[in-house]
Amino acid sequence: MKRVYWRPQKISKAALFAIGLVAVGGTLLIEHFPCTTHHGDVQTKFLAAELADRGMKAIREARLERGLDIDRRFDPTESGMIGGAMTPVTSLPGHLEAKQTSVNPNFAAVAVELLQQAGVSEGDLVAVGCTGSFPALNTALFAAIEAIGAEPIVIHSAASSQFGANQPELLWLDMERVLYDQGIISFRTSAATLGGFGDRARGMSDESQALLAASLERSNVEQLEPETLNDSIALRMSHYQTAAAGRPIAAYVNVGGGAASIHGSAGRQTFGGGLTLDAPADAEAVDCVASRYSIQGIPTINLANAVSLAKAHGLPVAPEALPAVGTGGVFTSTRPSRLLAGLLLVVVLTMVRLYVWTDLWARLRTRFTELNSGGGDAGLRVHSGPQGAELMV
């Protein structure tokens, strides 16, 4: 039996250092020069985010002008878009982390992306159902619609859950008027309900209902007065149809958890967060405006699960500072350059080959040359010390 053994010479520290230096340097180079991918219509997204940023700042100023303090315990960014824990017009408990997450002007870019994925373009009609629970998301959506140039038909539910637009002096319709008066949006809500349980503030005091109704009156918004929840859904569908005047509705957008709009938590679970192109399997079981439009084949967008939406689009959850316009994965994403990584691999492997394999074959040729010059031996045996190679046959 013949066997060949090869043991490399003592490893050169200089060679190892050179290979390691190239590997580390190349890795740093790859991290420093990543590939950037732009997502969708970045120009329109940026315009929408700028409008949303202007809108949130305008609402903040309006809040301070009314002497409404900002509580940093609830609103760490001091945006003015987070309401109180409990006020006379608060309808339900609210998720503070979701409200804090929603305070990000770049959600307007998310809304642009979802609307465009739904096929909405300039001049298209968009039906909107929103509540007072997420004023920041309302602002973002309205900014997105304005940036795209679509035409919304908006029905609003005046009540709000905790930490929303729940200051009686500055409810959502008051905020909307600020946006309109400052030229940030060019449209207004056309109809509204009191919201809350049954979409008619059921269970709220007479004083609370009066405060909600007063916000509709001072904003000159038509009040829909349903007797039941099903009646509210029907009234809304009729209002959208009348306002559309025969034109097709390109998409339906829900913001918040309005009972008539999205059927509360059950509807939010059915539709999830974001765009739904095809009606969910259990759409009929959660009767609401969103399900009725979805069954008709109209794309629906649900802007309610702020935390999951943020994670899905590369936005921060409950940021401590107001994010800058144009930041987040909704605009761009980065990844290591495959080209640079491939080049680095080739370079490192080439250096290893030159050091190891070149050394091997050079020493084998040298030993064979020495043996041949020595007259040959039936049992070929070459040995060298620890610094050399060993060949035995």
pLDDT tens digit sequence for 271-295 = 988 999 999 888 888 999 999 999 9
* pLDDT over 60 at 384, yes or no: no
**Sequence-separated (6 or more) residues with CB below 8 Å from residue 291:** 263, 267, 270, 279, 280, 283, 284
Q: Give yes or no for a contact between 156 and 192, defined as CB atoms under 8 angstroms apart.
A: yes
CA–CA dist 166, 139 (Å, integer): 15
Token digits of residue 298 = 């109209």
Q: Which pLDDT value is given to residue 15?
A: 65
pLDDT category at 84 given cuts 50, 70, 90 is: very high
pLDDT category at 334 given cuts 50, 70, 90 is: low
* pLDDT over 70 at 262, yes or no: yes
Return the closest-CA partner of residue 157 out of 197, 210, 104.
Answer: 197
Q: Give the pTM.
A: 0.79
CB atoms within 10 A of CB 262: 29
pLDDT category at 353 given cuts 50, 70, 90 is: low
Q: Give yes or no for a contact between 51 and 149, defined as CB atoms under 8 angstroms apart.
A: no
Least confident of 27-41, 44-58, 59-73, 350-364: 350-364
pLDDT category at 380 given cuts 50, 70, 90 is: very low
Token digits of residue 332 = 């761009």
As a whole number of angstroms, the longest Cα–Cα distance in the chain is 117
**Sequence-separated (6 or more) residues with CB below 8 Å from residue 152:** 125, 126, 127, 128, 142, 145, 187
Q: Mean pLDDT across the chain, nearest whole number?
A: 87
Question: pLDDT > 70: what percent of the chain?
Answer: 82
CA–CA dist 364, 309 (Å, integer): 64
pLDDT category at 267 given cuts 50, 70, 90 is: confident
